[in-house]
Amino acid sequence: MRKGFGLAALLAAALSWQAPALAHGGSEHLMGTVKAVDDQSLTVDTKNRKEAKVKVDADTKFEKSGQPATAKDLSVGDRVVVHTRSGKGRQTAVLVKFGPQKTAEAPKQGHQH
């Protein structure tokens, strides 16, 4: 029984990374890149090239690379997954997960003689 549950959970996780936004139970999961962030809102350029602005409040949790973080740790250009809830005509971020920004690799230098 556990093996089936694990496979289902793995499949669900894999599918969630493929979709830019999934809605269920009045919530939505946004995936994309941070375009703007301040104390009251977060703007995300989603993978389907749409801009989504969500409210940030005192209850919003932030997680960087699996560790507790704050909005101040979030930067423009960070890739995020934002779990939201609906209310009063606007989405509010419940949990914002992000990791380190990808850095461009420095070009490898050849040997000079």
The answer to whether position 40 is within a domain reads yes
Residue the block writes with tokens 């977060």: 42
17 to 10, 58, 63, 65, 66: CA distances (angstroms):
11, 27, 17, 16, 16
- Residue span of the structural domain in which 47 resides: 27-98
Full-model pTM:
0.66
CATH of the domain at 64: 2.40.50.320
The answer to whether position 6 is within a domain reads no
| Tens-digit pLDDT profile for residues 4-17 | 444 444 434 444 44
Q: What pLDDT does 112 receive?
A: 55
- Whole-angstrom Cα distance, residue 40 to residue 8? 36
- Whole-angstrom Cα distance, residue 57 to residue 41? 8
The answer to whether position 81 is within a domain reads yes
Domain count across the chain:
1
Q: What pLDDT does 89 receive?
A: 75
Least confident of 23-37, 58-72, 77-91: 23-37
What average pLDDT does this structure show over 68-72? Answer: 94
The answer to whether position 13 is within a domain reads no
The answer to whether position 2 is within a domain reads no
The answer to whether position 8 is within a domain reads no
